[in-house]
Amino acid sequence: MGMNIPKTAIVIPGASGDLAQRKLVPALDILYRQQRLGPDPILVGSGRSSFTTESFRERFNVSTEFARHLYYHQGISGIKSFIDSRGAFERIVFFLSLPPAAYGDTAQEIAAEGFGDETSIILEKPFGYDSASAHELNSRLAPYFDEQRIFRIDHYLAKEAVQNILVFRFANSIFYPVWNNRYIDSIQISALENEGIVERGAYFDHAGIIRDMVQNHLLQLLCLLTMEAPVSLDPDDIRAQKITVLRSLRIDRCHRYQYRGYHDGKGVAPGSTTETFAELQLSINNFRWTGVPVYIRTGKAVHRRGTEIGIRFKPVPPLLFNHNGALPPNQIVFKIQPAEGIILDIQSKIPGTDDSISRSTMNFCYRDVFAGTIPEAYQRLLYDVLRNDHTLFVSARESEIAWDVVGPVLHTTDIEPYEPGSLPAGKLPVDWIDFDGYQGLCG
Ligand code: BG6
């Protein structure tokens, strides 16, 4: 385990921030204790604040063994010699825990320190604000870091139930023949949150839910669901297929909503028309999927938290058990979170009747099948960076094309209100799968 990780220095510019404290350093502590950080690693925090090694170590609630590997260096300038003075590191990884506006300058500063090919950078979304700014960001990074040394995080890709989508599709022969427009009626993706924007108004008000969730997380889910089989599991082959899906996407309808009381949030501009909920209808214009609508809805401050993907199949012919055409179609629901599972809806005869039929479900629930807890996304992502595995990261091209997809609806201002704690009534011509009805399944 972790045997092939070289001697590594991890540097976190922005280490005094919330992300380092809540997610990154705890995840690295776990990886360290699992012996997955390579021999004698160091973690160097960096930022504008001044800390001594001791006061920096005291900020984190980590194991005493791991705490001994933590250091602090003020600013980027001089960080190369600081690292060199601690040993010869074969790999250096910078996790930019910074506002995206600082990515370009920081990449340049890191390069100016004289780091070479052993150095990679990890970036969090958002990668740009629209297509033009995404291109600009990528072209600012490119002179210093080639694509193989940039890791763009989309934490949805690290969710176990998301990683399982390709396994479900390409490791099971029975679904493969029906995964197309001959058998599938619609694809429905629902990603709901009960919390509002909380303390993130300053960021969110400039973004809105389409930039925040659709451009990245939800289009990535759609790619995994609908891409062709890659030639191999090599990250470049998988990315190539995702790019092909993205290039064939078009948004046919989009409706934007905002919860009442949103304007009271800190950092929200008066009169803001930023959407906190959106519903979209898309088409995938290729041979496999043409004619199958994709519906996406996502938003904050609704009645519950949960991400589900539903595949609705076409109905059986209006004969026999379906003579009145009312028999519900088969459905597959991927429960991504909070409880992971896959549910197949089928029709079954009610015992003791002649031909009364009721809907029943075949359930695969992670908690019943797999023991142990599911690792945190950052644990997986950081480990993959150390192993130099790009599979769960987003390429420049994917991100740019995803911006092109959402581009046409980024600047609309029509907005409808909804009550916090409830789902907006919705205007798409869709009969949504009753995802709420699956909540009891899988815990
Ligand atoms: C982030 C968004 O990328 O994803 C947040 O910026 C959102 O606004 C979050 O709440 C949702 O992630 P998860 O893992 O809780 O579904």
Q: How many CB atoms lie within 10 A of CB 226?
A: 25
CATH architecture of 8-124: 3-Layer(aba) Sandwich (3.40)
Q: What is the CB neighbour count within 10 angstroms for residue 215?
A: 27
Tokens of 84: 């060199």
Locate CATH 3.40.50.720 in the chain: 8-124
Task: Transcribe 205-217 into DSSP letters.
Answer: HHH-HIIIIIIII
Closest residue to atom 5 of ligand 1, CA basis: 212
Q: Return the active site residues.
A: 217
pLDDT at 397 over 80: yes
pTM of the model: 0.96
Q: Collect all residues with Cβ–Cβ distance below 8 Å to 211 and sequence separation of at least 6.
A: 126, 129, 406, 410
Percent of residues, the chain, with pLDDT higher than 70: 99
Nearest atom within ligand 1 for CA of residue 377: 14
Dig out the tokens for 373 from the structure.
Answer: 């807890």
Residue 159 has pLDDT above 80, yes or no: yes
Topology of domain 157-376+395-438, CATH: Dihydrodipicolinate Reductase; domain 2 (3.30.360)
pLDDT (mean) for 50-76: 96
Compute the distance from residue 113 Cα to the ligand 1 centre, in Å: 34
Indicate the residue type of 63.
Answer: S
Domain with CATH 3.30.360.10 in the chain: 157-376+395-438
pLDDT confidence of residue 3: 57
Residue 244 above 50 pLDDT?
Answer: yes
- Residue in 162, 203, 212 to alter for ligand 1 test, most ligand atoms within 8 A of Cβ: 212
The span from the CA of 428 to the CA of 409, in Å, is: 15
How does pLDDT run across 200-236, given as a tens digit for each residue?
999 999 999 999 999 999 999 999 999 999 999 999 9
Mean pLDDT for all residues in the chain:
96
Enumerate residues lining ligand 1, CB below 6 A: 155, 193, 212, 307
pLDDT at 26 over 60: yes
Strands 8-13, 42-47: pairing kind: parallel
Give nearest CA residue, ligand 1 atom 4: 213
- The pairing of strands 42-47 and 70-74 is parallel
C-alpha 213 to ligand 1 mean position (Å):
7
Q: For ligand 1, what atom is nearest to the CA of residue 193?
A: 10
Would you state the structure tokens that stand for residue 226, as one six-digit string? 């609908």
Atom of ligand 1 nearest to the CA of 125: 3
Nearest CA, atom 15, ligand 1:
193
Question: Where do the DSSP E strands lie in 75-160?
Answer: 91-96, 119-123, 150-153
Is the pLDDT score of 1 beyond 50? no
Rounded percentage of the chain residues whose pLDDT exceeds 90: 95
Query: How far apart are the CA of 154 and the centre of ligand 1, in A?
Result: 10
Q: How far is the CA of 194 from the centre of ligand 1 (A)?
A: 12
Ligand 1 centre distance from Cα of residue 168 (Å): 24
Cα–Cα distance measured from residue 10 to residue 118, given in angstroms and rounded to the nearest whole number? 12
Peptide bond before 315: cis, by omega within 30 degrees of 0? Answer: no
